[in-house]
Amino acid sequence: MTVKSGVLFVCSHNSARSQMAEGLFRHAAGDRFGIASAGVEPGVLNPFAVQAMQEIGIDISQHTAESIDTYRGTWQVDHLVIVCDKAAAQCPTDWPGVGQTHHWFFEDPSAATGSDAEKLAVFRQVRDAIRRRLESWLEKPDDSESSQNAQV
């Protein structure tokens, strides 16, 4: 039996960026990896994240915000992908079994202001930036550039 590499996307609240990254990665990678997302201080799944993902045919509406403690020390995390600077500052560094840590910082779409249409536009922008980064990483997951910061 082949053990899949575990990929955990971490954000501060596990409400938008990490959720979108999980959905996009599941869609792009299929069953090649064990994939999950979590938050340092889990909140509630953001409806704009759900809507932005539905627009490209990916349903994350049943996702729930999970704590990093759900996975810490209980799940083999070969790739810990931190998608926001706040989580990077708060994320525990003593994770047993963590392979590589990647820092891909994206703008927080939950901080967007304006009308619902303006907020959704920011979610789309961040979604698309995450998708580009994930597609690039899937081509070369062990590339040294994978730990570089990605800014939107």
Catalytic choice (16, 65, 77, 84): 84
| Rounded Cα gap, residues 59 and 51, in angstroms | 9
Per the structure block, which two tokens stand in for 97? 């079994």
Confirm whether 124 is a catalytic residue.
no
Tokens coding 68: 């990093």
Active-site choice (11, 58, 122, 126): 11
Answer yes or no: 91 catalytic: yes
Annotation says 112 is catalytic: no
Residue 113: partners with Cβ closer than 8 Å, 6 or more residues away: 119
Phi, psi of 97 (to 5 degrees): 85, 0
- Residue 40 sits at the vertex; the CA angle it makes with 66 and 43, to the nearest 5 degrees, is 55
Task: Give the active site residue among 91, 120, 129, 134.
Answer: 91
- The Cα–Cα gap between 75 and 98 comes to 9
Active site residue ranges: 11, 84, 91
